[in-house]
Structure formats: C-alpha cells, structure tokens
Amino acid sequence: MNVFKRDATLHDFSWQNLGDIKEGRGDLGEEMPVLVYRLMQYTMLDVLTKDFGADKANEYFRKAGFLAGTEFAQNTLDLTVEFNEFLANLQNSLQELKIGILRMEAFDPDTGNIVLTVGQDLDCSGLPITNETVCNYDEGFIAGILKSYTGKTYDVREIDCWANGDRVCRFTGTVM
C-alpha cells in the first residue's frame, strides 16, 4: 500500500505518512543530530529561494510549518483541556522532542493575541548572525498549533531571532 496515496483531501500529507520510526530505525533509533535536520531545511530553502525568490520560499516554509503544526497538535496534544494545561503540555512536548524551550511572555484573553519565545530553537540557535529572522517554518508551525487549539486563524511572525543577534526566538501571534 502506498502511504503517499493521493486523494481529494485538502492536503496529501497526514500524520500516518511518518511511518513506524521505531520499527524502521531499530538500530539507529528515533533521534538524529540537529545538523542533519538543518542540512535538509536550509538546502531546501536555498533551492526554493533560487527558483521562486525569498518571499515565495518563505511563504512555502510557513505553509509547510502550518501543516506540520496542525498535524502535530491533532496527533500529539490534548486539544480539549483548559489553556494553561494546553500550554504546559505543549511546552513539555516541544522540550521532550528537543524542538526548543517554549515560554509564554504575554497573552490577551480578550483578543487571543500571544507572545511566545522559543529558546535553543531547533531551526536557528547557533547560526551565524545575518541580521534577519529565519524561522519562517516555526511561524507556520505555531500558527497551525494555535489554530488547532483555538479554532482561530493566527498570523504568527518572528520578531527576534538568533540569526539577528538575539538568544531566543520571539514570536507574536495575532488573531486575524
């Protein structure tokens, strides 16, 4: 059976496409160095940027991050709990999976707007300073998680990044 079977759904990807990693990587295990992840991410970004331009490449990364965040939330998080418990579960999951250390800096319960930081971020911590924000995938990932939990559409933007000289990535999430 082809796990990448095409159908008429909105997206062709689903969580099940990730397969049984424990079975498939019995000797090597489920973890790999961050270097390998970044090698895939930044070479893909380079190819997309050369073919489509930086703005379009970043848009694709946000869209992919959104899909990943949605699938992640729907398949690993309890979306029925109160906000504080949801946030604690999300923090634990991101740390256990070594994606980063999530902290909430601000949340407005009236508007739903949020400010989050991610320390030791998988995508950028340790990168050379280029005076730019580079975590477009993370913007989409966070937006997908927030949409899955709240049902609201968020515009998530990175305002601080390791690559522009900060030591945490800071994201604002604004309800659209």
For 20-50, the pLDDT digits (tens) are 998 999 999 888 999 999 999 999 999 999 9
Q: How far apart are CA 62 and CA 56, in angstroms?
A: 10
Q: How far apart are CA 133 and CA 60, in angstroms?
A: 16
Structural domain boundaries of the chain?
15-175
With beta carbons less than 8 A apart as the criterion, state whether 46 and 131 touch.
Answer: no
pTM of the predicted model as reported, rounded to 2 decimal places: 0.91
Q: How far apart are CA 53 and CA 21, in angstroms?
A: 34
- In this predicted model, what pLDDT tens digit does every residue of 113-160 receive, in sequence order? 999 999 999 999 999 999 999 999 999 999 999 999 999 999 999 999
CATH topology of domain 15-175: Muramoyl-pentapeptide Carboxypeptidase; domain 2 (3.30.1380)
Tell how strand 168-175 and strand 114-119 pair up: antiparallel
